[in-house]
Structures are given as C-alpha cells and as structure tokens.
Amino acid sequence: MTALACEVSPRMNDGGDSPVSELDEVLWQAWKAMELPEGYRAEIIEGSIEVSPTGRRRHGIVVGRLLRRLNVHLADSEDAAHNDSNVIHRHRSWIPDVFVAPEDLDEIPDDEGLGVDVAGVSMVFEVVSPGRKNIERDRVRKRREYARAGVPVYVLIDDFDEDGTVTVLTAPDPDKARYRDEHRVPYGTEVVIPAGPAKGFIIGEEITRQPAEGSAADGK
C-alpha cells in the first residue's frame, strides 16, 4: 500500500540555502503528527507524504545480508550500517533500507531529534519492492532526492530490472538532482563500492542470490 498526500511537481534545485516553502512546512508538521499502525512507515518524498508497509520476506532477507556483511566490512572504522531510522534533509524524511553513518548516531542528529542529519550519511541502499509505485519511488524519485541531498553513494538492489541488477550511483549533483556516475551490473556479477567508509565492499551473489528454482518463493 502506498498513500500519497498533497503531491506537487518535483523541484530540481532544493539542495541549497533557499527557504523552506509553505507546502514543505505543512507536510513536515503533518508527517510529525502521524500515528501509523505497526508495520507501516511514512516518508516525505518530493512534495508528498508516502505511507508504505514494511517489506516482505525477500526484502528482509536481502536487508539482513547487507547489514551483517557491511558491519563486518566496517568493523575497524568509526562507521556502521543502520536501518529503521529517519534520515532528514530540509523538511524531507526518508527511511533507507540500509545506510552507512557514524556508529554512534548521536553524532549526527537532525535539528528536532527526529532522526539523523543526511549530511552525516555516506551511503544509502534501497532494495526495490514489487509494484509500479514502489519501483518508481526507488529508481526515480528517491534517486533524485538522495542526489539533491548530496548523498555520496546510492545503491539499488533491484530484482525487477531484467533478471536482477545492482546499480551503484556516485558523484551527486545536487543542483541537477542527479548522479553523474552510474555503474549497473546484472546479478551474478560482483560490484565494488568505489568510495567512502564502505570503499571496497563487494556486492555479489552472497547478497543478491535468490531461492533455488523449485523452492518456496521468498516474495518481497
């Protein structure tokens, strides 16, 4: 389920010091006042509040693999892999499936104590869920939002792109809401994170593998 409230056309330059709009303020106050049933989450994405359920089994499996392996990779650093937290930027709020930030999130609070400031986040992952709106959200709208916010690395793990792909996006251009560099590989091909605290982290079949043919379907 995805519920949209008060949609507007996306603004291509929202990463600077321009004042927060009246609509942004209305959405921000509405988002803060929301009380959702267990199993649902709300994000503010490109001028709308979006409510969606937590992911299905396949989604949880991939997120769990990412968290475990990333934290092993980051063990000797001051960073860690996190999830289930609001990442805040200029009256926007996102809940990435996984993000890399300081191990102690108290080091990067947002102004109102509702989550973490995106400025302290070095990398985000989204595991794409089924359904047209979910796919478009991660591939298009969140891609623009993370680029506007200057997130250095955005990784998409996408079961629904052909037979499955991993896309690593780097070099954000906040003014144009895009990533200048894109590396997209099919499942079964390893891709290496090129920069940031997780530099050298490998995304391969250990993370993306799917159930063997004939076994119970994971679903997402």
> In order of start, what are the domains of the chain with their CATH numbers?
56-208 (3.90.1570.10)
Q: Which helix (H) or strand (E) holds 117?
A: strand 116-117
Q: What is the model's pLDDT at position 212?
A: 73
Sorting pLDDT into bands at 50, 70 and 90, what band is 12? Answer: very low
Q: What is the DSSP letter of 192?
A: E
Average pLDDT taken over every residue of the chain = 90
pLDDT digits (tens, 9 = 90+) for 189-210: 999 999 999 999 999 999 999 8
Sorting pLDDT into bands at 50, 70 and 90, what band is 10? Answer: very low
127 strand-pairing partners: 157
Phi, psi of 42 (to 5 degrees): -125, 135
Sorting pLDDT into bands at 50, 70 and 90, what band is 71? Answer: very high
Sorting pLDDT into bands at 50, 70 and 90, what band is 4? Answer: very low
Residue 182 contacts residue 189 (beta carbons within 8 Å): no
Q: Quick check: 213 pLDDT over 80?
A: no
Q: Are strands 123-127 and 153-158 parallel, antiparallel or unpaired?
A: parallel
Q: What is the model's pLDDT at position 14?
A: 54
Q: What is the model's pLDDT at position 9?
A: 36
Round to whole Å and give the CA distance between 19 and 16.
9
Q: What is the pTM for the complete model shown?
A: 0.89
Q: What is the model's pLDDT at position 13?
A: 43
Q: What is the DSSP string of 65-86?
A: HHHHHHHHHTTTSSEEEE-S--
Q: Quick check: 220 pLDDT over 80?
A: no
Q: Quick check: 166 pLDDT over 80?
A: yes
Lowest mean pLDDT among 4-13, 19-28, 71-80, 162-171: 4-13
Residue 53 contacts residue 215 (beta carbons within 8 Å): no
